[in-house]
C-alpha cells in the first residue's frame, strides 16, 4: 500500500502545526467561532450533540496493522475506548475534547494518517472499491488513481471554499461495490478497445434530501488527463454551483438544473482551456504511486486450498461447526480473489443487536494482528461499515474465523438484513430527527431470533435518522428514514433502492410508522417477498418484477 515519502509527511506535519496555531488563536479569542468553524471542520472536527467528533480519513479505505493499532490507541487515549467506522470508509470518534484535538492529529501523523478535509466545503476523502487489488473482476487496482486524486485535492488552493462538500469515488470494475454513481464525481477506470487506460466520469450524483444518480459526462478521459478533467469539473462547480441555498448547493443540483449535456459542454470547454494551461502532474507520478500497490507475493496455489478442499477438511472438525458456524461465515463473508487459493474475508461490525460500524480498541488490535499475520499487513474499511482482510489464504480461514469468533467479530451476515447501514442518528448527531442505532439493533435481533436472516438472503437495509441520508436509505433495498412528526419519532419506509451497478433510488411505501410499527413493516415486506420470489431471486429482483403494489397492499391494505 501507499507509503508517505518525506514530502507527504512534511505536508501532514505542517497541517498539524497549522491547526495547533488556529486552535491557539481560537482559545485566545482572536478567531471567532464562525471563523474557526470551517478551519476545524477541514481538520475533521465537528461539534455534535454531546461533544466534539473527530473524523479521521482512511484514504480509499486502505490501512495497515500499525495504523489500525494507532486508531485503537487514540480510542483509548482521547475517547471512550471505541470508534465508529463510517460509510465514507473513515473512522469517527465521538467524545473528543477540543484541547486534545491537535495532539490526536499529531499521533495520527506519526502513522501517516490525518483528518484533513474529512469535513467542510472542500474535496473530501476519496473512496474506492473496498475489494480493490483483490477482486477477481477488476480491470486494474483503482487505488493509485485515488491516491493521485488525494494528493491533487489536498490543500487545493482554488477548491477549499466550494459551495458545498465534494465526494469522489473510484472503482475499476463493471460491478459497483462503492456506490460510485451516488457521488459528486464517480470515476470508473476502464480500458478501451485499443487497450488504453482511461476514466469514465459520472458527475452529479448524491443522496441527501435530493437523491440523484450521476449521469455519464465523459465515457473516456485518457488517464494522463485525469487530474485536468477533475479540475475542469471542480472549476465549473466552484464558479456556478448555487450558493444561495445550502440545500441546493451540491453539484447534483447544478447538473440537474443545467442538464447533463450543457454541463458536459461547460466542463469540456474548461477542460480544453486547462489542457493548454498544463495542470496535470508528471506522468511518472502515477507510475511511482502504482508501484506501492503492486500485488503482494502470493503463495503458490499448491500451498493453499480451494473452497472445496476447505469444506472437506473443516466438515470433519466439529469445533468449526461447518453448518451453522465457520461454514456459514465462509459462505457469507468471503469474496472471490483474483489469485487462486485466496479470498477476501469480511469482518462484520454488525453483531446481532450491536451498533453498526462500532469497534472497540481491543477489537481493532485483534483485527490488526490478523492483518499482519494473514493478509500481508493490509486492511480495508468497507462503505458498509465493516472491515476486510483483503488477501487471505483459504487454508488460513479456520484459524482466522476462530480468532474473530472469540472477539465477537464473526457474524456471518454480509449483505443480509443484519448487515444494516445506519447513521449515528439522534444518539449522537445534532442534525438527526430520530434514532437510527436502536432501530438497527432491534431489527437485527428480530431477524436473528426468527431465523429469517438466512432464509431471506441478500437484503440491504439502510437507515438514516434525517433527510441528509448519511445512512444511505435512498439506496437500500429497504430504506428507513427517521423523521420528526409533531415531536415524536416516525419512520418512513421505502423500497427498491440500490447502490450497486444496477443503481436505483428507493420509493416511499406510504405513511410512516412508529418504531414498533416499522419493525413489523419490515417483516411484512419480507413476507411478501418470500411468498412471491421465484427461484434464485434476491429481494430487489422480486421487487422489480412485481412492483410496489403487493407490498403496499400488505402494509396498508
Partner 1 sequence: MVESRDLGTSPDEVQFRFRDDEPVDHGTVTVDSCCDQTNATAVRIEPGDDARLLLPFLDRLALVEVNFPSFTDGRGYSAARILREADYTGELRAVGDVLIDQLSHMRRCGFDSFAPDKRLDEGDAARAFATWDNVYQRATDTRRTIADKRHEA
E strand intervals along 300-357? 334-336, 342-347
Residue 85 as a binder of partner 1 (CB under 8 A): the answer is no
Instruction: Select 13 or 405, whichever has its Cβ closest to partner 1.
Output: 13
**Residue nearer to partner 1 on the CB measure, 282 or 451:** 282
Sheet holding 358-360, edge to edge: 45-47, 52-56, 91-96, 82-85, 358-360
Among positions 200-229, residues that touch partner 1 (CB under 8 A) are: 227
Instruction: Establish if 247 lies at the interface with partner 1 (CB under 8 A).
Output: no
Residue 405 near partner 1 by CB under 8 A: no
Tell me the closest approach of the beta carbon of residue 18 to partner 1, in angstroms: 6
Q: How far is the CB of 282 from partner 1 (least distance, A)?
A: 5
* Nearer to partner 1 (CB atom), residue 150 or residue 473: 150
Q: Is 174 in the site for partner 1 (CB under 8 A)?
A: no
Give the shortest CB-331-to-partner 1 separation in angstroms: 44
Using alpha carbons only, give the angle 437, 440, 446 rounded to the nearest 5 degrees: 140
Separation between Cα atoms, residue 232 and residue 254, nearest integer Å? 14
Task: Output 238 or 468, the one with its CB closest to partner 1.
Answer: 238
Asked whether the beta carbons of 21 and 403 are under 8 A apart, the reply is no
Distance set, CA 477 to CA 80, 355, 461 (Å): 34, 20, 6
Per-residue binding letters, 113-142, with partner 1 (x by CB under 8 A): --------x---------------------
Closest approach, Cβ 21 to partner 1, in A, equals 7
Q: How many residues bind partner 1 (CB under 8 A)?
A: 41
Task: Give the nearest distance from C-beta 332 to partner 1 in angstroms.
Answer: 41
39 or 255: CB nearest partner 1: 39
- Helix intervals (H) in 121-250: 143-153, 226-240
Q: Which of 4, 20, 38, 220 binds partner 1 (CB under 8 A)?
A: 38
Rounded CA gap, 359 and 30, in Å?
38
Cell of 302: 499448491
19: DSSP letter:
H
For residue 337, the 8-state DSSP code is B
Query: Looking at residue 180, what DSSP letter applies?
Result: G
Residue number with CB closer to partner 1 (41 or 330):
41
Question: Does residue 28 belong to the site contacting partner 1 (CB under 8 A)?
Answer: no
Smallest separation (angstroms) from partner 1 to the CB of 277: 5
By CB under 8 A, is residue 316 in contact with partner 1? no
Task: Tell whether residue 14 is a contact of partner 1 (CB under 8 A).
Answer: yes
Neighbouring-strand partners of residue 381? 387
278 belongs to the binding site for partner 1 (CB under 8 A): yes
Phi, psi of 487 (to 5 degrees): 85, -5
Q: Using CB under 8 A, pick the residue from 29, 195, 282, 316 that binds partner 1.
A: 282
Q: Evaluate whether 391 touches 372 at the Cβ level (below 8 Å).
A: no
C-alpha of 360 from chain center: 19
State the nearest-atom distance from the C-beta of 241 to partner 1, in Å.
9
Residue 11 is a binding residue for partner 1 (CB under 8 A): yes
Residue 277 interacts with partner 1 (CB under 8 A)? yes
Give kind and range of the element (H or E) at residue 201: strand 197-203
Calpha distance 165→155 (Å, rounded): 14
Residue 537: Cβ-neighbour burial (10 angstroms; 0-12, 13-18, 19+): middle
CB of 139 to partner 1, least distance (A): 24
Span near partner 1 by CB under 8 A; candidates 13-21, 343-351, 424-432, 498-506: 13-21
Distance CA 450, CA 91 (A): 32
Q: Which residue's entry shows cell 499487513?
A: 377
Q: Is residue 10 a contact point for partner 1 (CB under 8 A)?
A: yes
Q: Are 480 and 473 in contact (CB under 8 A)?
A: yes
Candidate residues 110, 209, 273, 545; the one interacting with partner 1 per rule CB under 8 A:
273
Nearer to partner 1, 194 or 277 (CB): 277
Residues binding partner 1 (CB under 8 A): 5, 7-8, 10-11, 14, 18, 21-22, 25, 30, 35, 38-39, 121, 151-152, 154-162, 227, 235, 238-239, 243, 273, 277-282, 284-285, 288
Amino acid at each position: 500500500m501507499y507509503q508517505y515519502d518525506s514530502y507527504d509527511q512534511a505536508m501532514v506535519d505542517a497541517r498539524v502545526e497549522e491547526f495547533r496555531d488556529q486552535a491557539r488563536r481560537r482559545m485566545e479569542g482572536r478567531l471567532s467561532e464562525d471563523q474557526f468553524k470551517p478551519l476545524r471542520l477541514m481538520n475533521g472536527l465537528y461539534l455534535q450533540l454531546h461533544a466534539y467528533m473527530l473524523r479521521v480519513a482512511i484514504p480509499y479505505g486502505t490501512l495497515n496493522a500499525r495504523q489500525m493499532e494507532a486508531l485503537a490507541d487514540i480510542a483509548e487515549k482521547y475517547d471512550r475506548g471505541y470508534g465508529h467506522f463510517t460509510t465514507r470508509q473513515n473512522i469517527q470518534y465521538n467524545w473528543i475534547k477540543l484541547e486534545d484535538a491537535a495532539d490526536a492529529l499529531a499521533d495520527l501523523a506519526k502513522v501517516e494518517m490525518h483528518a484533513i478535509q474529512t469535513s467542510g466545503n472542500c474535496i473530501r476523502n476519496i473512496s474506492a472499491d473496498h475489494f480493490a487489488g483483490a477482486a477477481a473482476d477488476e480491470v486494474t487496482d483503482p487505488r493509485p488513481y485515488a491516491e493521485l486524486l488525494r494528493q491533487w485535492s489536498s490543500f487545493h488552493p482554488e477548491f477549499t471554499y466550494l459551495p458545498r462538500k465534494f465526494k469522489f469515488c473510484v472503482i475499476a470494475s463493471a460491478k459497483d461495490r462503492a456506490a460510485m454513481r451516488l457521488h459528486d464525481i464517480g470515476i470508473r477506470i476502464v480500458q478501451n478497445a485499443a487497450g488504453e487506460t482511461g476514466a469514465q466520469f459520472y458527475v452529479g450524483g448524491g443522496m441527501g434530501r435530493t437523491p440523484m444518480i450521476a449521469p455519464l459526462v465523459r465515457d473516456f478521459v485518457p488517464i494522463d488527463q485525469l487530474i485536468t478533467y477533475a479540475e475542469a469539473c471542480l472549476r465549473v462547480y466552484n464558479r456556478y454551483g448555487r450558493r444561495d441555498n445550502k440545500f441546493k448547493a451540491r453539484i447534483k443540483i447544478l447538473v440537474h438544473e443545467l442538464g447533463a449535456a450543457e454541463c458536459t459542454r461547460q466542463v469540456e470547454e474548461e477542460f480544453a482551456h486547462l489542457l493548454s494551461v498544463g495542470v496535470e502532474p508528471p506522468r511518472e507520478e502515477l507510475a511511482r504511486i502504482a508501484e506501492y500497490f503492486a500485488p503482494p507475493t502470493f503463495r503458490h496455489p499448491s500451498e493453499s486450498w480451494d473452497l472445496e478442499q476447505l469444506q472437506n477438511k473443516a466438515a470433519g472438525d466439529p469445533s468449526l461447526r461447518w453448518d451453522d458456524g465457520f461454514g456459514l461465515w465462509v459462505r457469507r463473508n468471503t469474496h472471490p480473489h483474483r489469485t487462486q487459493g485466496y479470498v477476501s474475508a469480511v469482518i462484520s461490525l454488525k453483531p446481532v443487536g450491536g451498533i453498526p460500524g462500532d469497534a472497540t480498541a481491543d477489537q481493532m488490535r485483534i483485527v490488526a494482528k490478523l492483518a499482519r499475520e494473514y493478509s500481508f499487513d493490509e486492511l480495508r474499511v468497507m462503505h458498509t461499515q465493516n472491515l476486510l482482510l483483503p488477501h487471505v489464504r483459504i487454508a488460513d480461514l479456520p484459524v482466522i474465523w476462530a480468532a474473530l469468533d472469540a472477539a465477537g467479530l464473526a457474524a456471518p451476515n454480509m449483505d443480509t438484513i443484519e448487515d444494516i447501514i445506519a447513521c449515528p442518528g439522534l444518539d449522537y448527531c445534532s442534525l438527526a430527527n430520530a434514532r437510527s442505532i436502536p432501530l438497527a439493533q432491534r431489527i437485527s435481533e428480530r431477524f436473528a431470533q426468527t431465523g429469517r436472516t438466512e432464509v431471506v438472503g441478500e437484503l440491504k437495509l439502510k437507515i438514516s435518522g434525517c433527510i441528509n441520508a448519511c445512512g444511505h436509505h435512498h439506496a437500500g433495498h429497504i430504506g428507513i428514514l427517521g423523521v420528526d412528526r409533531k415531536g415524536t419519532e416516525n419512520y418512513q419506509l421505502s423500497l427498491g433502492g440500490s447502490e450497486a451497478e444496477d443503481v436505483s433510488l428507493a420509493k416511499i411505501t406510504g405513511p410512516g410508522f412508529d418504531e414498533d410499527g416499522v419493525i413489523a413493516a419490515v417483516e411484512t415486506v419480507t413476507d411478501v417477498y418470500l411468498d412471491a420470489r421465484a427461484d434464485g431471486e434476491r429481494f430487489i429482483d422480486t421487487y422489480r418484477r412485481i412492483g410496489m403494489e403487493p407490498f403496499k397492499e400488505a402494509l396498508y391494505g
